Amino acid sequence: MAAAAFFASVVSVRAVLLLCVAAAASAQLSATFYDASCPRALATIRSAVTAAVRRDPRMGASLLRLFFHDCFVQASLRFFLLSVGCDGSVLLADTANFTGEQGSFPNKGSLRGFDVVDSIKAQVEAVCPRTVSCADILAVAARDAAVTLGGSPYTVLLGRRDSTTASLSLANSDLPSTTANLSDLITGFARKGLSTTDMVALSGAHTIGQAQCTNFRSRLYGESNNLNAAALRATCPQSGGDGNLAPMDPATPTAFDKAFFTGLIQQRGLLHSDQQLFSGGATDALVRAYASNGGTFRTDFAAAMVRMGSIGVLTGNQGQVRVACSRVNS
């Protein structure tokens, strides 16, 4: 009895502390954080992202997704502040004595762009050593990637610090699955403090980038759909070819535009989870609004990115500024 009460109060104290830390932390992010300490940081990141996307247009999508997967893997109440949100944890590589998030089901064999982030970090370290966090680099790179491909510009709030930990189990549990239905998606984003509008707008990131056959095979063969079946079935046979790629917005695969939403109205969403956004439910109207007005989509996307970018950040003296994004400072 006493033990149970004690346990409950420890849990709630932790929960309260965590909420305070999260609230205080997001209040401390600032647009001008590096203005004095590293005035060249933003321009350095932008030119590196622009060059990387010019070399490989898909890299814009890959950088944007890295930021999402960083922010969505959040604090655990089981282990106090094990790992928080946009804290660069996704960038930590596995070593003999460290298991990070890169081997989780949603990430393994799928996330890309680590080499580009390492290279951006090296360029930023060259102008301002030990000053700019990997978590901030990812936040800025994601914005610049979207803008390079046609997204609306917005101001990124800065001052995140890097984690010294990562969580494989939370990467497995907290990242949304392609098998999710609409209510799963709404709930999953709500658990991160994001609204249904944020969820739909952020899902518009799939207007760029590609998915592997293994992630759309069951929709292609198992659901009645309007996918361009012949071409997709050649890419994605019923067995084999798991890693073969198809664009999630085949109309304009490297343009950050509203065509992804137009595709959903035509029942052409490649992922089951994407088509859920236009499947007779509460988000149909918003999908129609974005499909008819790309400006509204881009504005809502930018605002939602700012909100996603403040999930569970470390600030002040918490965490560290990693020297190399793939490993904790020794």
Ligand X SMILES: *[C@@H]1O[C@H](CO)[C@@H](O)[C@H](O)[C@H]1NC(C)=O
Binding residue numbers for heme b: 206
CA pair distance 142, 288, nearest whole angstrom: 26
Task: Please state the closest distance from residue 124 (CB atom) to ligand HEM, in A.
Answer: 22
Question: What residues from 186 to 245 belong to the interface with ligand HEM (CB under 6 A)?
Answer: 202-203, 205-206, 208-212, 215
C-alpha distances in Å from residue 297, one per residue of 218, 262, 288: 29, 12, 10
User: Taking CB under 6 A as the rule, does residue 327 contact ligand HEM?
Assistant: no
* Residue 38 CB contacts under 8 Å (≥ 6 apart), including other chains: 124, 127, 128, 131, 132
Site string for ligand X, 149-188 (x = CB under 6 A): --------------------------------x-xx----
C-alpha distances in Å from residue 27, one per residue of 85, 100, 172, 190, 312: 15, 28, 29, 20, 11
User: Taking CB under 6 A as the rule, does residue 238 contact ligand X?
Assistant: no
Site string for ligand X, 80-119 (x = CB under 6 A): ---------------xxx----------------------
* Interaction partner, residue 275 (ligand X, ligand HEM, none; CB < 5-8 Å by kind): none
**In the Cβ-directed half-sphere of 155, how many Cα atoms lie within 13 Å?**
7
Residue 205 C-alpha from the chain's centroid: 9
CA pair distance 71, 308, nearest whole angstrom: 7
* Interaction partner, residue 330 (ligand X, ligand HEM, none; CB < 5-8 Å by kind): ligand X
Binding-site residues from annotation for substrate:
176
Comparison of 35 and 223: residue with beta carbon closer to ligand X? 223
User: Taking CB under 6 A as the rule, does residue 330 contact ligand X?
Assistant: yes
Which residues share a beta bridge with 247?
210
Of 107, 148, 163, 273, the one binding ligand HEM (CB under 6 A) is 273
In this structure, the dihedral spanned by the alpha carbons of residues 71, 73, 74 and 78, taken in order and rounded to 10 degrees, is -170
CB–CB of 309/159 below 8 Å?
no
Residues near ligand HEM (CB under 6 A) are: 58, 61-62, 64-65, 68, 110, 112, 176-178, 180, 185, 202-203, 205-206, 208-212, 215, 271, 273
